[in-house]
Chains A and B, each alone.
Chain A
C-alpha cells in the first residue's frame, strides 16, 4: 500500500463547478498535512496546510480526519487557472529527519 493515496483523476469540470479531491495516508504517526499544486513541468507550490479543525482560504477548503487518516480539498467556483495537478502531501519524521511524502497527484482540468 502506498503511503499516500489520491483519487486518480483526471477531473474535467466546467468553470464555476465545485470539485473535491480525496486523499488517504497510511502512517498514523504523520504530523502535518498539506496540499500542493503543481503546474506542468514546474516545481510544486504550497497551496495550503491542512488542520484538524478544517481551514479555508478563499475558494479552497481543506479538511483532515485523523481517525480515518483522510484528507480532502474542496475547490468552489472553479476557474480556468485552477487547472493543475493537486498533490496531497504528508509530513513525517523518520530516522530523525523530516520528510514530505507526496501522493501521485490528481489532475484537474477546468474548461470554459
Chain B
C-alpha cells in the first residue's frame, strides 16, 4: 500500500520556538495533503487542506499565521508551528490523498511537546 512518512516522530521544544514537521508521500504523488491534530482522548480534527502549488485552506478556528503550511511539491508538505506554546502540545498527523485508490493514507504522526 501507499506509504506516507512524517519527520520528526517526536519533538520537544521550548515555548516561543518554531517547529517544522515534514510529511512525504513515498511512492505516489499527492496533489492534496491534510493536516490533523489530535489531543489526548479526542478524535482527529482537520486543521487544513494543502494543495500543491497553492495556499492551504484552513478550518475554522485554526490560525493560518500560527500554523504555516507549505506544499512545494507533489510529495512534500510541511507544517510549521510558529511561536509554539504549551497548549500546542498535541499529536499532529498528516495524510495524503491519491486518486489512484481514492483513499487517504496517514503518516505515523508527530508528537509535539512544548515546555
- Determine whether the beta carbon of B93 is less than 8 Å from that of A43: yes
- Determine whether the beta carbon of A104 is less than 8 Å from that of B42: yes
A106 CB, min distance to chain B CBs, angstroms: 10
For chain A, residues 66 to 112, give those with C-beta under 8 angstroms from any C-beta of chain B: 87, 95, 97-105
Q: What is the bound-complex CA distance between A99 and B107, given in angstroms?
A: 16
Q: What is the bound-complex CA distance between A103 and B104, given in angstroms?
A: 16
- Interface size class on chain A is 10 to 19
Judge if A46 is at the interface, Cβ distance under 8 Å: yes
CB-defined contacts of A59 to chain B, threshold 8 Å:
none
- Determine whether the beta carbon of A105 is less than 8 Å from that of B43: yes
Over the window 42-69 of chain B, the binary record of Cβ atoms lying under 8 Å from chain A Cβ atoms (1 yes, 0 no) is 1111100101000001000000000000
Contact among A42, A97, A98, A99 for B108, CB-based, below 8 A:
A42
Number of interface residues of B (CB under 8 A): 22
Does more than half of chain B's interface fall in helix, strand or loop, or is it mixed? strand
CB-defined contacts of A45 to chain B, threshold 8 Å:
106
> Quick one: closest B residue to A32, CB to CB?
B102
- Determine whether the beta carbon of B46 is less than 8 Å from that of A100: yes
CB-defined contacts of A87 to chain B, threshold 8 Å:
43-44
- Determine whether the beta carbon of A46 is less than 8 Å from that of B43: no
B57 CB, min distance to chain A CBs, angstroms: 6
Judge if B97 is at the interface, Cβ distance under 8 Å: yes
- Determine whether the beta carbon of A97 is less than 8 Å from that of B43: no
Taking beta carbons and an 8 Å cutoff, which residues of B are in contact with A?
A: 32, 34, 36, 42-46, 49, 51, 57, 91, 93, 95, 97, 103-104, 106-109, 111
> Can you name 5 A-B pairs with beta carbons within 8 Å?
A41-B91, A43-B93, A95-B57, A100-B104, A105-B43
